Homo-oligomer: A and B are copies of this chain.
């Protein structure tokens, strides 16, 4: 297996015997249709040459955007052939008109592609509460469809960017029996990022042949460990959407149940989703650091998760990391208000491998080493609760004046 990185560096990556970020049987494209004022790509399309098995995970926000409502209906069939996405407008809080707008865009796409409209999924990201500029989008769809090509995935990745600083792509290739299968994904994130599920868009494509319920189950597990284990600002958007499409073109023996093939595919899937989700944190709005928060020794994953999010969403913790201050007191304080009972005397906290808190109090010394750890771009903190054997790992970004600048002035 050969791995491709994420983010800016990834653009130079190559998969052996294949193009950059291409998956057999998938074509993609991204163009500018006039939704973004800066002339950048703002509509994207992913197309499978044959109908693909499909599964999705969507936002739990009660104000679901129109495209989310449409996709949740359509994905029940377990099959899809295209994903049409726009940035610059979320088509959220737009009422029934918004739903009709989403439907109208999907119809234009299905008609251009000559496929059943029910096989088109849609996604939107951008400002909330404004009607989707359907005219602009429609006028771009012909060029979008005409330009579909096998190496178009990076163009689609660009088209879904909003405040993202770099496009997010990841690919893995694996061998299933005598067949080689490929799995690629694109994502956008940056702000309104706290999973539950992860507040972002991600689209995963594979040519593997896989049983639908096996895929659905592996996909949900992978999302829980990746997009549902990151936070930038604790805000869950109205538009979160992660979709996987598997078109079966690789011709492998169907991935199903507990098998070697399943294990290989699972590893590829987890790895691609993990790469994409970490890229989102790294590119969090204004972020300068990625904080890896491991909570172990918990009674349940749910408890570990609660504590991890309490720490990762604490503005005081996030600003301390930004300032390079090994202020473990803020971490302890955040953990203590997570809403679960903690055995104060047993809790231990580490910065990388350096213990900083134990038996209810701080551990002196190592200040120089701690300051050096805090100057890194990726910092691991481990909080051991001393209550059980369950754990949860969360990736969080720091909180900076750049975040304030971006969000105090990003408009409506």
CB distance from A313 to the nearest CB of B (A): 8
In the complex, what residues of B have CB within 8 A of residue A389's CB?
Answer: none
Known interface pairs A319-B408, A326-B412, A341-B62; A96-B333 also in contact (CB < 8 Å)? no
Please, how many angstroms separate the alpha-carbon atoms of A156 and B61 in the complex? 46
A365-407 CB contact bits vs B (8 Å, 1 = yes)? 0000000000000000000000000000000000111011101
Residue of B nearest to A347 (CB): B63
Q: Please tell me which one of the listed residues B94, B315, B327, B357 contacts residue A234 in the complex, with CB atoms under 8 A apart.
A: B315
- Would you call A19 an interface residue if the criterion is a C-beta within 8 Å of the partner chain's C-beta atoms? no
Q: Please tell me which one of the listed residues B235, B322, B409 contacts residue A323 in the complex, with CB atoms under 8 A apart.
A: B409
Known interface pairs A316-B191, A327-B412, A359-B95; A337-B407 also in contact (CB < 8 Å)? no
- Would you call A314 an interface residue if the criterion is a C-beta within 8 Å of the partner chain's C-beta atoms? yes
- Would you call A302 an interface residue if the criterion is a C-beta within 8 Å of the partner chain's C-beta atoms? no
Are the CB atoms of A362 and B407 closer together than 8 Å? no
Please, how many angstroms separate the alpha-carbon atoms of A93 and B81 in the complex? 56
CB distance from A165 to the nearest CB of B (A): 18
Are the CB atoms of B129 and A328 closer together than 8 Å? yes
Residue of B nearest to A360 (CB): B95
Tally of A interface residues using CB under 8 Å: 67
Please, how many angstroms separate the alpha-carbon atoms of A93 and B360 in the complex? 6
Known interface pairs A234-B315, A322-B404, A404-B322; A61-B336 also in contact (CB < 8 Å)? yes
Residue of B nearest to A333 (CB): B238
Nearest 5 interchain pairs by C-beta: A128-B329, A95-B361, A323-B408, A63-B336, A319-B407
Contact surface of A with B, Cβ cutoff 8 Å: 60-64, 90, 92-98, 127-130, 191-192, 196, 233-238, 313-316, 319-320, 322-323, 325-330, 332-337, 340-342, 344, 357, 359-362, 399-401, 403-405, 407-412
A320-B408, A401-B404 known; 6 other A-B pairs, CB under 8 Å? A60-B337, A62-B342, A98-B361, A233-B316, A315-B403, A316-B407
Mind listing 8 A-B residue pairs with CB under 8 Å? A61-B333, A63-B336, A93-B357, A233-B315, A235-B334, A325-B408, A325-B410, A404-B404
